[in-house]
Structure 1
Amino acid sequence: MNRPARLVTAALTASAALLLTACGSGGGDGSSSDAIAGADSGRKPSAPPSAPAGAGGVGRPEIELSADFRADFEGWTNSDPKLQAILNDGREELRAKYAAIIEADPDSDAVAFYNSEATLATARTWIRQFTDKDNSIIGEVRVFEPQVHIAGTGSGVLFYCVDERRASTKNRETGKVVATPDKPESLVQYRLRLDKSGEGVWKTTSLTTVPGACR
């Protein structure tokens, strides 16, 4: 995938920002960038903080974030149950990676649960760019403007925006905090393709990020 340097830079330089793009979750052929024309953006009250256990007949992992970090999902509801299922699993894929960084667990089972073989290795590499330097994340991100539809191939296509400007990295040993710059590039558009597994889970099979694509 095209790996923007935003989050990678945060892990490699002490002066960089948090920059929580999911550039470590790449993979696939880029089909996640399919047009969203006609998609229901679902501007409704925020979705609950975690996918319901057993949704779709599968016991989904419980994902908890620390008191020092919050991810606010705005408008993550849709009147179509099929589209809501894609929103739920797309949301939990992101939350699983945040939790893995906070818990210093790049081999998190929850990350594996929501990622396909095509994206799992790079998701874990992205998480290790924090954990290998003993960094965690604090503050908050706003996840908004979800756009979702089912492509003609049967894959789910999900676009959403993440505002990272109130989030920071924090070193566990030194306590040093590095804030995300207040710049347009800190608003990132995520573009996912998800495919439904035999167990009914919409696993991420392709993910790209476009810094500065959201306002």
Structure 2
Amino acid sequence: MNRRFLPVAVATTVSTALLLTGCSSGGGDDDASDKIKGAGGDKDASASASAPSQPDGSKRPEIKLPKSFQVQFDGWTSSDPKLQAVMDDGGQQLLSSYAAIIASDPEAQPMAFYNTGEALFTGKKWISGFVDKDLTLVGKTRAYKPQARISQDGSGTLFYCVDESKASTQNRKTKKVTKTPADKAQALYRTKLAKSKGIWQTTSSTTTQGGCQ
């Protein structure tokens, strides 16, 4: 399992930056602003993030991000409502990961809501890497070029890119900021999802560093 890289080199050194997401092709215009709440495109969105309301009435948890860290979703729209649902919950899964890091809480409720199985186990371990180093996130990331698919067996796949060139880790005590190295700022994400009670939960996630360049 190739779970997302630790915050840029938390895995290899005491600090560096974050490195999170993944890429694909298709799924929308790079310049189109996404409607996922909490993404941080406007001045209010970064403070609070509630998942979009769903036709099935499923209640999504609120995800809050501070103004010091924003996530911009570009092109996260689809004319197919089924694929849009995959992208919506996949986007919320990404936000839940960021929020858990900032809250220093691997057990944050949205993590368990949008992840299951291997993805939940490895996600908690990944977030614990930030907690152990006493790191939080600052700056801005951009998630773009999403591509969602639903297989004949009913499972979902979501590919997308994340650019973290404007994001950094910050030590909570010393306030030292470490920028994401340019050669590690983009990654290709491949996630698998399964639908449970109207929610598309991520079951596994792999990344390819530099896969979106």
TM-score, length of structure 2 as denominator length? 0.85
1:50-199 maps to which residues of 2 (within 5 A)?
A: 50-53=50-53, 56-183=56-183, 185-197=184-196, 199=197
Alignment-derived partner of residue 27 in structure 1: none
Judged with a 3 Å threshold, the aligned counterparts in structure 2 of structure 1 residues 85 and 129 are, in CA distance, closer, same or farther, namely same
Aligned to 2:40: none
SS in 2 for 1:7: coil
Corresponding position of 2:36: 48
SS in 1 for 2:182: coil
Shift of 1:51: 1.8
SS of match in other structure, 1:56: coil
CA distance in 2, matches of 1:79, 1:151: 18
Which runs of 5 or more residues in structure 2 are unaligned? 38-49
Give SS of 1:14's match: coil
Tell me whether 145-154 or 157-166 shows the greater mean CA deviation. Answer: 145-154
Give distance in 2, aligned partners of 1:69 and 1:4. 19
Give, in whole Å, the separation in 2 of the partners of 1:175 and 1:130: 14
Structure 2 contact 3–205 (Cα < 8 Å) conserved = no
- Which is helix-richer, 1 or 2? 1
Same amino acid, percent of matched pairs = 48
Preserved contact between residue 193 and residue 204 of structure 2 (Cα < 8 Å): yes
Q: How far, CA to CA, are the matches of 1:69 and 1:104 in structure 2? A: 14
Per-residue CA shift, 1:27-66, capped at 9, x if unaligned?
xxxxxxxxx8xx8613343123242245532110011111
Offset at residue 20 of structure 1 (A): 2.8
Determine the structure 2 residue equivalent to 1:212: 210
Query: Any gaps of 5 or more consecutive residues in structure 1?
Result: 23-35
Aligned residues: 199
Query: How far, CA to CA, are the matches of 2:151 and 2:54 in structure 1?
Result: 25
Secondary structure, counterpart of 1:110 in structure 2: helix
Aligned-CA RMSD value: 2.2
Provide closer, same or farther for how the CA distance between residues 209 and 164 of structure 1 changes in structure 2, counting only shifts above 3 A.
same
**TM-score by structure 1 length?**
0.85
In the other structure, the counterpart of 2:198 is 200
1:21 CA drift (Å) = 4.5
